[in-house]
Amino acid sequence: MNAPIDFAALKTRQQAAWGSGDYAVVGTTLQIVGESLAEACDLKTDERVLDVAAGNGNATLAAARRGCFVTSTDYVGSLLERGAERAQAERLEVKFQVADVEALPFADASFDAVVSTFGVMFAPDHARSASEMARVCRSGGRIGLANWTPDSLIGRMFKVLGRHLPPPAGVQSPSLWGTEAHLRTLFGERVAEVQATTKYFNFRYRSAAHFIDVFRTWYGPVHKAFAALGAEKGAALEKDLIELLEGDNVAGQGSLVIPAAYLEAVVTLR
């Protein structure tokens, strides 16, 4: 019989990982995904929008630009600080609040829409995260999600990381959130409609080496992986990542362009 998963300890390690480096360096390149999701959710002026696992605020800013009353949350306060800097630069009014998507400090039906871009998918307890998002969203409201698919670059990158640093036993893969079937299972009878579309984000870097340098410096999970492995094992990880990246490169020699699949989904609640 498998031992129960210690979600509290796991989240503590995750917080340390995402708080290392500076995710905003990578996150800001993904802004177009937040804009697309805001349009898919048909966000309207004066609607109440909650961004969960918001990171540096891509979906937050997209909603605020559409005149919504936005609350931006993450369990890593330093990431919210980056979002706040961006909102201030654009003169956007946004409420930033440290909060865990698995235990949201908001009343039932507090929001017209709840959104997340490449955020909630990394919360360890999938069912609890989905339940909390549905709880704080009103009947007829929308839950808008952008999640990497299992066969996307990021989905496969985490599989490579897992070969070198095995994930905790029993924890569901984050990339399951990038499948419509998993979303329907998570939200269950609360769903009135699911609109799901596979879309692509183009990662653009100078080379595979450039991509790895950026991610190992700024992207928390990769940063932590290289730090934990040390020089020799880290070199083996780098070799596997280069093989993955160069295999997906559509730009030819001299640059790196990789179309990465993600699922853009709008779940309308009953």
Stretch 175-201: mean pLDDT: 98
The pLDDT value given to residue 170: 83
Summarize pLDDT for 38-84 with one digit per residue, the tens: 999 999 999 999 999 999 999 999 999 999 999 999 999 999 999 99
Residue 230 domain-assigned?
no
Question: Judging by DSSP bridges, how do beta strands 94-98 and 191-205 pair with one another?
Answer: unpaired
Residues 192-213: what's their mean pLDDT?
A: 98
pLDDT over threshold 60, residue 1: no
Residue 99 lies in a domain: yes
Which pLDDT score is estimated for 15?
85
Domain that holds residue 192: 7-205+259-269
Query: What percentage of residues in the chain have a pLDDT greater than 70?
Result: 99
- How many other CB atoms are found less than 10 A from the CB of residue 224? 21
Residue 29 within any structural domain of the chain: yes
On the question of pLDDT at 20 being above 90, the answer is no
Structure confidence at residue 11 (pLDDT): 83
Q: What integer pLDDT is reported at residue 43 of this predicted model?
A: 98
195 belongs to a structural domain = yes
Is residue 235 assigned to a domain? no
- Predicted confidence band at 2 (pLDDT cuts at 50, 70, 90)? low
Asked if the structure places residue 222 within a domain, the reply is no
Region 187-193: what's the mean pLDDT?
97
pLDDT at 147 over 70: yes
For residue 6, the model assigns a pLDDT of 85
CATH number at residue 154: 3.40.50.150
pLDDT at 3: 64
Q: Taking all residues of the chain, what is their mean pLDDT, rounded to a whole number?
A: 96
CA-based radius of gyration for the chain: 18
Residue 77 lies in a domain: yes
Please indicate, yes or no, if residue 115 is contained in any of the structural domains.
Answer: yes
pLDDT at residue 13 in the model: 86
Query: Can you tell me the distance from the alpha carbon of 33 to that of 199, in angstroms, rounded to the nearest whole number?
Result: 9
Model confidence pLDDT, tens digit, residues 231-242: 999 999 999 999
Q: Is the pTM of this model over 0.85?
A: yes
Query: In the chain, how many domains are there?
Result: 1
In the predicted model, what is the mean pLDDT of residues 198-226? 97
Q: What is the residue-wise DSSP string for 6-63?
A: -HHHHHHHHHHHHHSS-THHHHGGGHHHHHHHHHHTT--TT-EEEESS-TTTHHHHHH
